[in-house]
Amino acid sequence: MSTSRLRDFSRIVFFTGAGMSAESGVPTYRGAGGIWKEYDYRRYACQEAFVRDPEAVWEFHNYRRGLVARCAPNLGHQIVARSGRRSARVTVVTQNIDGLHALAGSSEILELHGNLWRVRCDTCGVKQQDGHVVREVLRCDGCGGWWRPDIVWFGDYLHEPTLDAAQAAIAACDLFVSIGTSAVVYPAAYLPEYARKAGARRVEINPDETPASELYELHLRGPATEMLTRLADGDAELLA
């Protein structure tokens, strides 16, 4: 059975989770060193906490910004970005908020859970995109209210147009590569189902098995950088 390279596919979707950025030094949420082991998201990462104690939410948010600001895209991000220049069409559907896919040069990126570096004021209906820095000004200059991190917290709805675009890209792809997600948070965790229905080749890159593993035809059990290198070099048994 001949193997195919990434460039042999015309429409690729890379579906990424926190494991994609683990080798850049960004902590994952669950598993060893997971951030939710150290911080209770009910105190630091939900609308209720933001209303109750915005200072604590901003302290946690700026802590994460400070940490991620020191992280750079890894070889995996670069392979994904490079394949976007070689293959007919590549879409990155990411649960990550760290901005590392964009830094690596990927162009078509759908951020399902928002962006660590963007804030919004729900009173004035405005957004601001910051650089990769902690934020000093925490109150909106228009109304004096708190800037809200523009990320999807637990209990929030996803941005419908972004989710629709992700579903459409996956429904049209011929290769779906999931990288570094525990597949436990919905509706993102349902997206591989669209790839199965589309008859796309489905690859799961994760050192561990996940509840979604049975949906995939090929499981590359290792770190993202090593497994993406194998995939890009055609060393993985990607059925033709």
Which residues contact ligand APR by CB under 6 A?
17-19, 22-23, 28-31, 34, 95, 113, 180-182, 185, 205-208, 210, 223-224
Would the annotation count 71 as a binding residue? no
Please, which residue, 26 or 200, has the CB nearer to ligand APR? 26
How many Å apart are CA 81 and CA 175, to the nearest integer? Answer: 15
Could you count the other beta carbons within 10 Å of the beta carbon of residue 69?
16
82 or 111: whose CB is closer to ligand APR? 111
Using CA atoms, how far apart are residues 117 and 131, in angstroms rounded to an integer? 6
CB of 25 to ligand APR, least distance (A): 11
* Sequential DSSP letters for 58-105: HHHHHHHHHHHHT----HHHHHHHHHHHHSSEEEEEE---S-HHHHHT
Exposed/middle/buried for residue 62 (C-beta within 10 Å: 0-12, 13-18, 19+): middle
28: helix, strand or coil: coil
Q: How far is the CB of 20 from ligand APR (least distance, A)?
A: 7
Q: Could you tell me whether strands 148-151 and 175-179 are parallel, antiparallel, or unpaired per DSSP bridges?
A: unpaired
Say how far apart CA 45 and CA 108 lie, in whole Å: 27
**Least distance from ligand APR to the Cβ atom of residue 165, Å:** 17
Residue closest to ligand APR (Cβ): 19
Residues that are catalytic = 113
Q: CB-wise, 17 or 140, nearer to ligand APR?
A: 17
- What crossing angle do the helices spanning 224-232 and 75-86 adopt, rounded to 10°? 30
Enter the DSSP assignment of 47. Answer: H
The minimum distance between CB 152 and ligand APR, in angstroms, equals 6
Q: Is residue 173 marked as binding?
A: no
Nearer to ligand APR, 18 or 236 (CB): 18
Shorter beta-carbon distance to ligand APR: residue 66 or 155? 155
Closest C-alpha among 101, 96, 136 to residue 119: 136
Least distance between ligand APR and beta carbon 93 (Å): 12
Residue stretches of the annotated binding site for Zn(2+): 121, 124, 140, 143
Residue stretches of the annotated binding site: 121, 124, 140, 143
